[in-house]
């Protein structure tokens, strides 16, 4: 995350280039008339800013608020039709790894200009089970409601459980992974109006090879096995049943 004025300026230059090229009316679309015009219409700023993996230590909400506000100004000045989405909030990092998601969001809402700088909010409700994931979404929605932002849409831009074993995010088998997915998606579909939930994205579509350094559950969280082919896991059939 940008730490100073120089970093913020470099970030803004990069963001400006991206919006001008890939946003509404972007140069990429005019330079490639044979391609379907599919501009980026929503820009999500950063990722899990309340966790140490993606933020400067210590976790200070104002750092992210400044980034979001500045980014929103840049995007909207170039593409007035563009929407801005908040970074996916992680629910409950350990005390030495970040700040609880609902607490972090509450602090963000106290910063001038924050509320006006985004159009929708995102969450990454990773948890040992879908009940805990739901609790996080309910907490996030309540913070939004209390801040007067209840009308804004809520997006689950990451959620998932692996079929491997070794920690709480890994369910131990393909069948258990598929069962956890079914329970979570059944609830989220049923609660979509109450939570003003717009979309849910499963993370991720394919397992990662064991030789690649990545997160502990990324090796088995996919809908397909790792490798050059696309060998579906049991979760793929479950996923398709919700389409």
From the CA atom positions of the chain, what is the Rg in Å? Answer: 19
Q: In what order do the strands lie in the sheet with 197-202?
A: 42-44, 83-89, 120-123, 153-159, 197-202
Position 42 scores a pLDDT of: 98
Q: From CA 22, how far away is CA 28, in angstroms rounded?
A: 6
Phi then psi for residue 202, to 5 deg, are -80, 135
Please, are residues 171 and 163 in contact by the beta-carbon 8 Å criterion?
yes
Place 3 in a pLDDT band, splitting at 50, 70 and 90.
Answer: confident
Position 20 scores a pLDDT of: 98
Q: Which of 191, 171, 193 is nearest to 181 (CA)?
A: 171
Position 161 scores a pLDDT of: 97
- Bridge partners, 88 (sequence order): 122
Q: From CA 35, how far away is CA 93, in angstroms rounded?
A: 42
In tens, the pLDDT along 121-164 reads: 999 999 999 999 999 999 999 999 999 999 999 999 999 999 99
Q: From CA 72, how far away is CA 69, in angstroms rounded?
A: 5
Please, are residues 169 and 128 in contact by the beta-carbon 8 Å criterion?
yes
Q: Which of 239, 141, 115 is nearest to 198 (CA)?
A: 141
Place 228 in a pLDDT band, splitting at 50, 70 and 90.
Answer: confident
In tens, the pLDDT along 7-62 reads: 999 999 999 999 999 999 999 999 999 999 999 999 999 999 999 999 988 999 99
In tens, the pLDDT along 58-102 reads: 999 999 999 999 999 999 999 999 999 999 999 998 888 999 999
Average pLDDT of the segment spanning 193-214? 95
Retrieve residue 165's tokens: 């074993």
Query: What are the distances in angstroms from CA 104 to CA 55, 64, 99?
Result: 13, 10, 6
Q: From CA 48, how far away is CA 122, in angstroms rounded?
A: 10
pTM above 0.85, yes or no: yes
Exposed, middle or buried by CB within 10 Å (0-12, 13-18, 19+), for 46?
Answer: middle
């Amino acid at each position: 995350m940008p730490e100073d004025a120089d970093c913020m300026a470099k970030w803004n230059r990069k963001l400006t280039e991206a919006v001008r090229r890939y946003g509404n009316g972007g140069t990429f679309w005019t330079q490639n008339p044979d391609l379907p015009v599919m501009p980026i219409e929503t820009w999500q700023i950063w990722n899990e800013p309340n966790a140490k993996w993606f933020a400067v230590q210590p976790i200070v909400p104002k750092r992210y608020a400044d980034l979001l506000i500045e980014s929103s100004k840049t995007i909207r000045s170039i593409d007035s039709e563009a929407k801005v989405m908040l970074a996916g909030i992680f629910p409950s990092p350990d005390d030495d790894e970040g700040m609880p998601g609902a607490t972090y969001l509450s602090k963000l809402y106290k910063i001038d200009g924050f509320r006006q700088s985004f159009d929708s909010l995102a969450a990454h409700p990773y948890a040992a089970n879908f009940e805990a994931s739901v609790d996080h979404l309910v907490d996030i929605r309540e913070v939004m409601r209390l801040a007067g932002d209840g009308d804004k849409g809520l997006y689950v831009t990451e959620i998932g459980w692996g079929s491997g074993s070794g920690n709480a995010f890994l369910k131990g088998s393909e069948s258990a992974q598929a069962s956890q997915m079914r329970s979570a998606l059944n609830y989220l579909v049923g609660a979509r109006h109450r939570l003003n939930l717009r979309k849910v994205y499963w993370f991720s579509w394919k397992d990662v090879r064991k030789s690649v350094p990545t997160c502990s559950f990324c090796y088995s969280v996919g809908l397909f096995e790792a490798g050059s082919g696309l060998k579906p896991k049991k979760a793929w059939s479950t996923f398709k049943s919700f389409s």
